[in-house]
Amino acid sequence: MKYSDDIMQVMFSAEQIKCRVRELAQQIAVDYAGRRPLVVGVLKGAWIFVADLLRELDVPADVDFICASSYGSGTSTSGEVTLLKDITLDCRKRDVLLVEDIIDSGVTLSWLKQMMIDRKSRSVNIATLLSKPSRRKVDVDVKYVGFEIPDEFVVGYGMDYDERYRTLQDICILKEEVYSK
């Protein structure tokens, strides 16, 4: 059995993702010129995006990871956020750039952003590869968005369904039958 057998449709190919990630990195480099941002990747989904984005980014950046979850193993949010792993670097007086795979309800990101503000970061911005505007429940200001997508559950490029499919190179929609297995 291969992951590719479970794909219904490719939403964004590895090539499309690569181009867009490069554009985002160029925009971020302009905005952060002369500064050294602390990039905080939101685990686990953003791991590949962080790795690709930072290698395209032409400003010095520190990197750390945080793990918060508003999700169980299903496909819809519970509305509550739990901090599963904190950053190890000090974010006080730092220009924090939170990097997320996908913003859905916005609950996770607005919670994380507020936490960084409470810890006296100098600035807090958000970069997300994907955004589902139609699903937003809380208003959160997202400075960098890779692609806006419709209300579809996607996997690949770091993102999972029940811990599977993270290693797919494209961003994909799964076959209906995968969820009923």
Q: Which residues are catalytic?
A: 104
Member of 11, 39, 97, 159 binding ligand 5GP (CB under 6 A): 159
The set of residues, in sequence order, having a beta carbon less than 8 Å from that of 123 and lying 6+ positions away, is 95, 96
> Bridge-partner residues for 69, per DSSP?
82
For Mg ion, which is the closer residue by CB, 29 or 43?
Answer: 43
Among residue numbers 59 through 78, which ones bind ligand 5GP (CB under 6 A)? 70-71, 77
φ, ψ of residue 103 in degrees (nearest 5) = -105, 125
Q: Is residue 104 involved in binding Mg ion (CB under 5 A)? A: no
Among residue numbers 15 through 44, which ones bind ligand 5GP (CB under 6 A)? none
For ligand 5GP, which is the closer residue by CB, 57 or 159?
Answer: 159
State the sign of the Cα–Cα–Cα–Cα dihedral 139, 142, 143, 145.
negative
Size of residue set near ligand 5GP by CB under 6 A: 20
Angle formed by the axes of helices 47-56 and 14-31, nearest 10° = 60
Instruction: Point out which span in 19-27, 30-38, 50-58, 104-112 binds ligand 5GP (CB under 6 A).
Output: 104-112
Member of 52, 95, 104, 170 binding ligand 5GP (CB under 6 A): 104
Residues found near ligand 5GP in the complex (CB under 6 A): 45, 70-71, 77, 100-109, 153-155, 159-161
